[in-house]
Structure 1
Amino acid sequence: MNPKEKLAALQKAMRAIVDGAKASSRDLTETEMTDLETKSTEAMELKEQIERGEKSMALMDRISNMKSDTDPTPKGPDNTPAKSLGAHFIKHLGQRSLKERGTITAPEFKAATDTQAVGGHEGAYGPLVTDIDRSFVLPKRERLVVEDLLGSGTVSGTAITYPVFGAIEGGTGMVAEGGQKPQLHVADPTWRTDALSEVAGWFKMTDDMAEDLDYVVSEINSTALYDLANRSEVQILSGDGTGQNLLGIRNRSGVQTHERGEDTVADALFKAIQKVQTATQFSADGLMIHPLDYEELRLGKDGNGQYFGGGYFAGQYGQGGILENPPVWGLRTIVTLAAPQGEPLVGAFASAKVFNKGGVRVESTNSHQDDFTNDKITVRVRRRLGLQVKYPSAFVKVNITEGL
């Protein structure tokens, strides 16, 4: 809500108090008088803020119109949605300065396509005194996609209560005319409550750094946002549920296990896929696997020395194109360091759900500790999330250690 909207709401609230007293032909109560005085003071401050903002905008407009022949042609307002969290923060900063006292909050960021994207690295690499290299290259980082496999939802409270379903007992069957129908019963569910957890971090920058907005965008995107997404992924998969940690999928009671034994890794994974369906009637839709475990599969060869997944120039025996990360047994295969080496996770990931409260947020202030007197700004990024797993048996941890 901007200052003008806040002022209108305050004025409406004050009129409602006065009109209520008049309608009852009574004087204002002590509580109403105190409330009106507080609202009146806040309204005056908002009016002054609006007037300062309008004066500032008018002054900047006059200065902007005083261009020389060498000035670039001014661009119209940009109404396109921000493509990254950093760009979103700068866009909603507007005419405000990162140096102003108090806390600056941008609204919830919802990317138009992939909420895990960490693109948009533009601007200077850091605060430089002389020349600024604007064509630097950041290292390519692993794309986090575990939440793409899971369902999603929002929550207004601080915890999620949901049923964890047991096995289906009995079932439907063929019945003769007038015959007894078989009973179908879902075992009584166990109700579970999971509290929301917060993933957050912060960093500082000097006022001089803040004057380079491109730097702020790149800093938020390349460091803070990526690290926030990485921590979220690890928690969703392997959180141990202690302290402020989520209870991740892998550590849920009821998750199945499968030992490789004398099978190949590929055979063990296929048997785990069947375990998902036989236990829940769900079809496995994803595989989370460590890069080194995937390497063993990807480099597997047949008796003729041909790669099962296609060679480094073409598919098997020169047929077809090459796939960067071909799926294993048709499952969407996620190669990630969040999966522990030696124990891939197969499952019906769509049966689980990640709940978010407030989305990913970025906030800044110069009022933290001694920031104001030391010309510093503190920036924090955070998100609150919870995990719902109604069918733990829809997931199988596969121990692919040889010979077990």
Structure 2
Amino acid sequence: MNLKERLKQLQKSMTAIVNGAKAAERDLTDEEMTLLEEKANEAAEIKSKIERSEKSAALVARIGGLKSEEESTDDDPADVPAKSLGAHFVKHLGKRSLKEPGTIHTPEFKAATDTQAVGGHEGAFGPLVTDVDRSFVLPKRERLVVADLLGSGSVSGTAITYPVYGALEGGTGTVGEGGQKPQMHVGDPTWKTDALGEVAGWFKMTDDMAEDLDYVVSEINSTALYDLASKEEAQLLSGDGTGSNLLGIRNRSGVQTLARGEDDSKADILFKAIGRVNTATGFTADALVIHPLDYEELRLNKDGNGQYYGGGYFSGQYGPGGIVVQPPVWGLRTVVTSAVPLGEPVVGAFSAAAKVFRKGGVRVESTNSHEDDFTNDKITVRVRERVGLQVKYPAAFVKVDLSEYQP
């Protein structure tokens, strides 16, 4: 009998003595009290031994888990998720060689299970760690992209069917005792079906390059994945819905448009767009997507004293505070991207009104059986994802025309 079994036996025995006295509605006898005291002392001693034994075992395990510098390895533990798509591919490659014939498949890399941050900023497909390979420095993925603004979901089919809601009619109000309650109604929704689209690309590398797994990781992360996210952003925002293209937010029926008035500055009309979102849908605008040159003009605006409205190049507004390279406009999360046309920024309640759906995650696959790869010592690597866009409240987005007022 081990210590834990003996402790359990003692506890059961003491409980039986106490319950026996209670059942007989009497006090414990002197003999019973002496016996209980002996058993309690033994139980306390056994419990102390158990605690010491467990502490000792934990300490041994802790020391045994420490590796010396010579024993350390760079291999990722099997249960530790990869931090990037490239690392995910190499991790699941295992002992297989990129040179083996046929196509190498790895599990989907699902960014939703990873921390969506890069140096404190959100990224489209999980964190990408800047590294240096033999030929170039990897670009840092620090800025927000349109997908980061939207809600997210997963889908198992090939299309998404959902209702597109119109304006709220009527509403609640004050009512006297026994009075008729006012009606509120959302017009019958229009049901819409959007098929999933695929964003994909491929690149080649030589067998010599493939022998350097760090190079494979850097190519997937910096070249392929960076470009994949950029193409996805363009589709979500400005896709025209023809052929294999998604129907982007800007081209949805029901999206509001707003042009500058005679006395409106560009900053004025952007603020007015915030109000249009609220008055049309009741949602609060949460983001602005703007072309880099439009943002540049706003950022460089100065007041009559020559002070930059967004803060100077050495400090914040009028000296205090630190500098913010891309301060938000009117407090909105601001995405600066060429995926939106020059002079046509979009203000909207992105997280509430739209959602991006992904089927699985980003896939990366490689083969040396494409065309004449095998005889030319080359390997083809492709990355792809299937994505769909749902916009239930088109009126929660406003396309702003920044061009000069035309009477």
Amino acid corresponding to residue 162 of structure 2 in structure 1: Y
**CA–CA distance in 1 between the matches of 2:100 and 2:252?**
47
Q: Which residue of 2 aligns with 1:105?
A: 105
Closer/same/farther in 2, CA of residues 300 and 124 from structure 1, 3 Å limit: closer
Q: Which residue of 2 aligns with 1:287?
A: 288
Structure 1 residue 300 displacement after superposition: 1.2
Any idea what the Cα deviations from partners look like across 1:262-316, whole Å, max 9, x if unmatched?
2001110111100000000000000001111111111111122211111111222
Aligned pairs (5 A) from 1:40-189: 73-75=71-73, 78-79=76-77, 80-111=80-111, 112-114=114-116, 115-116=124-125, 119-122=128-131, 124-125=133-134, 136-140=136-140, 143-189=143-189
Report SS of the residue matched to 2:188. coil
CA contact (8 A) 1:116 1:143 kept: no
Closer/same/farther in 2, CA of residues 283 and 319 from structure 1, 3 Å limit: same
Q: Which residue of 2 aligns with 1:392?
A: 394
Report SS of the residue matched to 1:225. helix
Structure 1 residue 403 displacement after superposition: 2.5
Single out whichever of 379-388 and 366-375 deviates more from structure 2: 366-375
Any idea what the Cα deviations from partners look like across 1:206-238, whole Å, max 9, x if unmatched?
222211111111111111111100000000000
Q: Which residue of 2 aligns with 1:25?
A: none
Amino acid corresponding to residue 289 of structure 1 in structure 2: I
**RMSD after superposition:** 1.8
Amino acid corresponding to residue 363 of structure 2 in structure 1: R
Q: Tell me, yes or no, if structure 1 residue 342 matches structure 2 residue 343.
A: yes
Structure 1 residue 386 displacement after superposition: 0.3
Amino acid corresponding to residue 244 of structure 2 in structure 1: Q
Q: Which residue of 1 aligns with 2:194?
A: 194
- Give the greater-gyration-radius structure (CA): 2
Amino acid corresponding to residue 285 of structure 1 in structure 2: D
Q: Structure 1: which 5+ runs fail to align?
A: 1-70, 127-135
Q: Which residue of 2 aligns with 1:323?
A: 324
Report SS of the residue matched to 1:311. coil
**CA–CA distance in 2 between the matches of 1:241 and 1:102?**
35
CA contact (8 A) 2:130 2:140 kept: no
**CA–CA distance in 2 between the matches of 1:401 and 1:216?**
46
Structure 1 residue 337 displacement after superposition: 1.5
Structure 1 residue 261 displacement after superposition: 2.6
Q: Which residue of 1 aligns with 2:63?
A: none
Q: Structure 2: which 5+ runs fail to align?
A: 1-68, 117-123
Any idea what the Cα deviations from partners look like across 1:348-380, whole Å, max 9, x if unmatched?
001200000021010011222232233221110
1:353 to 347, 355, 367: 355
**CA–CA distance in 2 between the matches of 1:332 and 1:76?**
38
Any idea what the Cα deviations from partners look like across 1:50-95, whole Å, max 9, x if unmatched?
xxxxxxxxxxxxxxxxxxxxx9545275223222111110011010
Closer/same/farther in 2, CA of residues 390 and 191 from structure 1, 3 Å limit: same
**CA–CA distance in 2 between the matches of 1:394 and 1:175?**
30
Report SS of the residue matched to 1:193. strand
Closer/same/farther in 2, CA of residues 210 and 158 from structure 1, 3 Å limit: same
**CA–CA distance in 2 between the matches of 1:165 and 1:78?**
48
Counting matched residue pairs gives: 325
TM-score with structure 2 setting the length: 0.76
CA contact (8 A) 1:168 1:185 kept: yes
Q: Which residue of 2 aligns with 1:28?
A: none
Report SS of the residue matched to 1:163. strand
**CA–CA distance in 2 between the matches of 1:207 and 1:88?**
20
CA contact (8 A) 1:154 1:356 kept: yes
Q: Which residue of 1 aligns with 2:304?
A: 303
Matched-pair identity in %: 75
Q: Which residue of 1 aligns with 2:3?
A: none
Q: Which residue of 2 aligns with 1:362?
A: 364
Any idea what the Cα deviations from partners look like across 1:18-49, whole Å, max 9, x if unmatched?
xxxxxxxxxxxxxxxxxxxxxxxxxxxxxxxx
Structure 1 residue 145 displacement after superposition: 2.0
TM-score with structure 1 setting the length: 0.77
Q: Which residue of 2 aligns with 1:56?
A: none
Single out whichever of 285-294 and 306-315 deviates more from structure 2: 306-315
Structure 1 residue 142 displacement after superposition: 6.6
**CA–CA distance in 2 between the matches of 1:104 and 1:277?**
50
Report SS of the residue matched to 1:241. coil
Amino acid corresponding to residue 163 of structure 1 in structure 2: P
Single out whichever of 137-146 and 238-247 deviates more from structure 2: 137-146
CA contact (8 A) 2:150 2:356 kept: yes
Report SS of the residue matched to 1:317. coil
